[in-house]
Structure 1
Amino acid sequence: MSGSDSALLLRDFVNTYDVQCDIDEFGAPSDLGGWLSEHGLAAPGDRADEFDLGIAVALREGLRAAMPARREPCDRPDHLDGLLAGLPLRLSLDGPVLVPVHRGIRGALAGVAAAVVASDADGTWARLKVCQEPTCRWAFLDTSKNRSRTWCSMRMCGNRTKTRAYRERQRVSD
């Protein structure tokens, strides 16, 4: 399973903030507009403002918090429902799919919200997870057969977590 376009869009959107390095791809409204345009959600001439940037960051972090970790139920932040209500969608029978009511940056962000429904419909929403390494929190698509993946990378985050646990066991036993 490679993942749907909607799931990959959501993963990429959440990963615009690198928790570990504290690097935000949405440092300015123009960065947000450029990212949405590059991903086909906004027209090249659409301009974001500070308010749009605030909505995008809140949506990104709300989605990060809502992505299921392991098999635990979705822990949706309280403000996410209100935020999503401000990004109206309508049903189009061409698919059928949800499409943004408005154009521009706000419509593009509504397109990100519509990707949640599309990825849930194709079964990939449950496979979108956030790395359990507290310093990482990178979003990834769990393509393992039994959906048991915990870290974005076993080589990096998995190794860190296991090494830390090993050292803690050694410290306690000494």
Structure 2
Amino acid sequence: MPEKHQDLSSLCLDFANAVGEDPRRFQNYGDLLAWAAEAGVLNPLDRLHLQAVAGRQPEQAARVFTRALALREAVYTVFSAVAAGRPAPSEGLEQLNGVLAEALRHQRLEPAEEGFTWSWEGLGDALDSPLWPVARSAAELLTSDRLPRVRECDSPTCNWLFLDYSKNHSRRWCSMSSCGNRAKARRHYRRQKGEGVDSR
């Protein structure tokens, strides 16, 4: 059974980022399972089980992987539009709703230490089960008060999405230690060369 991601609202953004530009993309169904395990939505036993099922059903696994790429593109286009203040593309929403409909069929409520929690049921050999929490995460974020915090990295060489929790809501880069520092280095270089400094 998929485990609970530490932050359900950001899981869908992590998924979009995981298959972006090299070296951050995955290229086959096994890579999808590895991402799901690392993200905390698959436990090790379920990962091994689905890997074995994929070995027996390679064509089905390839189809699921194609769906995963389509879902990634849908998540990215929808949230990129949100970050830019544009209307979400209908094609992206349609793709997302298709996976979401399947995911919701497998959602169940179960008792927890304090009240109730969501769980997943009917996984079995469902090769597309790693996609269900992603679709649920996207739906949760799109309908939450955190939606205005969605940002797209301001670096011209990066398209990562993130949630801006800075005090003044002015975070521009996915990571200050990577894209932010590179932007500062470019500005410094241009100043040294006496060139105009861009806003990035």
Q: Give yes or no for TM over 0.5.
A: yes
- What are structure 2's unaligned runs of at least 5 residues? 1-5, 55-59, 110-115
Greater helix percent: which structure?
Answer: 2
Residues 52 and 105 in structure 1, CA contact (< 8 A), matched pair in contact too: yes
Indicate the residue corresponding to 2:26 in structure 1: 26
Q: For the residues of structure 1 that align with 2:181 and 2:81, how far apart are their CA atoms?
A: 18
* Partners of 1:130 and 1:137 within 8 A in 2: yes
Alignment of 1:23-172 (within 5 A): 23-38=23-38, 39-41=40-42, 43-44=46-47, 45-46=49-50, 47=54, 49-68=61-80, 72-87=84-99, 88=101, 89-90=103-104, 94=109, 104-161=126-183, 163-164=186-187, 167=190, 170-171=194-195
Deviation, 1:113, is 0.8
Closer/same/farther in 2, CA of residues 54 and 153 from structure 1, 3 Å limit: same
Paired letter, 1:40:
V
Write the distance in 2 (CA, Å) between the matches of 1:101 and 1:119.
25
Q: In 2, are the aligned partners of 1:100 and 1:107 still within 8 Å (CA)? A: no
The number of equivalent residue pairs is 169
Q: Give ranges in structure 1 of 5+ residues lacking alignment.
A: none
Structure 1 residues 96 and 60: CA distance shift in structure 2, 3 A: same
With over 3 angstroms needed to count, the CA separation of the structure-2 counterparts of 1:149 and 1:69, relative to structure 1, is: farther
Q: Give the TM-score taking structure 2 as reference length.
A: 0.63
SS across alignment from 1:119:
helix
Q: 2:15 aligns with which of 13, 16, 21?
A: 13
Map Cα deviations across residues 37-69 of structure 1 (whole Å, 9 max, x no partner): 443258321237111111112222322232257
- When Rg is computed on C-alpha atoms for both structures, the one with the higher figure is 2
Q: Distance in 2 between matches of 1:62 and 1:100?
A: 25
Find the residue that maps to 2:151 and give its secondary structure: strand
Q: 1:49 to 1:13 in 2, by over 3 A?
A: same
